[in-house]
Amino acid sequence: MSNAEPEKIEENPLRVVRIEKVTVNIATGKSGEPLEKAKKVLNQLTEKTPTTKRAKKAIKDFGVRKGEPIAALVTLRGKDAGEFLKRALDAVSNKVNESSFDDYGNFSFGIKEHIEIPGTRYVPELGIFGATIHVTLGRPGYRIRSRLIRPAKIGHDHYVSRGEAVEFMRNNFGTNVAS
């Protein structure tokens, strides 16, 4: 190797941070027609079939019964997750608060109106919904903690830290992370 060429440092492929999944959630607080409209909106946004989430406990003041479906969500993985995340970040001007990141590299942010996402058209019959987007970052090898046969623990150093998650978002998505 000559002195003119800078030495390339090989990065460990198991240390590369990647998007594991993006979860898009619309909570209506009640079942029936509003929930069905929220499902149609999620289908329009992601082109995936949404699932419903049920209330964990009864809240009498809001008229919510335990087990009543009150929210719709879609989980995106792979290429779909990255593409949707780019569009969702455009809706919030590529800004995410640093307090939105947890100690394991996950972060969440909200969108006040789903029509702010680029490429979304307004349908008067459906109305306007707010959405919460949860992003889970990980590394190759995370599967061992959730596999069915011989699950194992992951070492503390292998988890994605808050700083690494912030750096990943700045480098790959051009996100402005505000303190």
Show me where the domains of the chain are located.
16-178
Pick among 3.40.50.12780, 2.60.120.10, 3.30.1440.10, 3.40.50.300: CATH of 16-178: 3.30.1440.10
Sequence-distant (≥ 6) Cβ neighbours of residue 95 within 8 angstroms: 175, 176, 177, 178
Sequence-distant (≥ 6) Cβ neighbours of residue 66 within 8 angstroms: 55, 56, 57, 58
Share of the chain above pLDDT 70, in %: 94
Rounded Cα distance between 91 and 124, Å, is 20
Average pLDDT over residues 67-89: 92
pLDDT at 68 over 70: yes
Q: Is 67 or 110 the better-scoring residue by pLDDT?
A: 110
| Bridge partners (DSSP) listed for residue 26 | 72
Query: Predicted confidence band at 30 (pLDDT cuts at 50, 70, 90)?
Result: confident
CB 132 within 8 A of CB 27: yes
**Short-list 10, 12, 22, CA closest to 139:** 12
User: What pLDDT sits at residue 165?
Assistant: 93
Tokens of 34: 């509003």
User: What pLDDT sits at residue 7?
Assistant: 58
Query: What are 144-152's contacts with CB under 8 Å, separation 24+?
Result: none
